[in-house]
Amino acid sequence: MVLTTKELKAEIRKMCEEKDAIILAHYYTIGDIQDIADFVGDSLALARKAAETDARVMVMCGVHFMAETCKLLSPDKIVLCPDLAAGCSLADSCKAEDLKKFKDEHPGYQVISYVNTTAAVKALTDVVVTSGNAKKVVDQLPKDAKLIFGPDYNLGNYINEVTGRKMLLWNGGCHVHERFSVSKILELKKQYPDAVVMAHLECKAPVLAVAEVKGSTATMLNYAQQSDKKQFIVATEAGILHEMQRTCPDKEFIPVPPEISESGLECSCNECNYMKLNTLEKVYNCLKTMSPQIKVDPEIAKEAVKPINRMLELS
């Protein structure tokens, strides 16, 4: 029997009650997932929620590294990932063995890793950061500290610029944010001259240069909620528009399209194909079967949780 969307949502919420489970969803997941979640947020907020929850089971609707982070912070809880194929191009751009080699070539350097990394990379890291707290964390490190920042080059470059640091930057990037271009933003600005341009810190420097608001998804959402402006041009994954529109129904949010779509055809927004692997059907099935569950090697977990806890302390 095929369940309707309404029936799926009702069954999911029913199973959450029966199994003492909560659903965590990133802003980039589809609207239906965000609607049934107990908590919707960016990477930092989701990490904090994972550390605080009393629930026995967590369903992480995001990408694989987010589910790993939940497991690292709550090793005794069951962490479910609706689709193990929900990876991350940014995490894939920094392999643990490559980072270890780079560390060995630069003795005396501390490693700052973006949260968009595997547990194995976090195990080689001194402190983890998100786009929302990277500047705050870096500012608290000694001024003479020798630092490696990875894997997101654009975020690291921005942090170097605003802090005056000279961190060594890993050359990694997000396939979504790399596709935004200044030309597309300027085209939209001509159509919507009064709109505020907002861009995620994973965007390239020229894109950030034309943005009036630069920050994490949470930063952009908060700005839109508090601003008296009515139109916003948004350069980040289009999933955030669901929460923006939900909380600001009287405002207009215009997604910036990619320079070139993966199909080679023009499209109106820029989406993460990994985030979109999370569906109501998969959430329903993972709760019903209690699988797939996230497991992290105990030796890796022991080291990987340390930089995450340090981040939570510093932010």
Q: Which residues are annotated as a binding site for iminosuccinate?
A: 26, 43, 114-116, 131, 217
Nearest Cα neighbor of 155 from 132, 183, 176 is 132
- Cβ burial, residue 46 (10 Å; 0-12/13-18/19+): buried
Question: What's the gap between Cα 224 and its chain centre?
Answer: 19
Give 261's contacts (C-beta < 8 A, 6+ positions apart). Answer: 267
Q: Is the peptide bond before 292 cis (omega within 30 degrees of 0)?
A: yes
Q: Which residues are annotated as a binding site for [4Fe-4S] cluster?
A: 88, 174, 272
Q: Which residues are annotated as a binding site?
A: 26, 43, 88, 114-116, 131, 174, 217, 272
Nearest Cα neighbor of 253 from 276, 280, 285, 231 is 231
- Please report how the helices 298-314 and 43-52 are oriented relative to each other, as an axis angle in degrees rounded to 10: 110
Instruction: Give the pair of three-digit tokens for residue 217.
Output: 């998804």
- Pairing between β-strand 196-200 and β-strand 57-61 as defined by DSSP bridges: unpaired
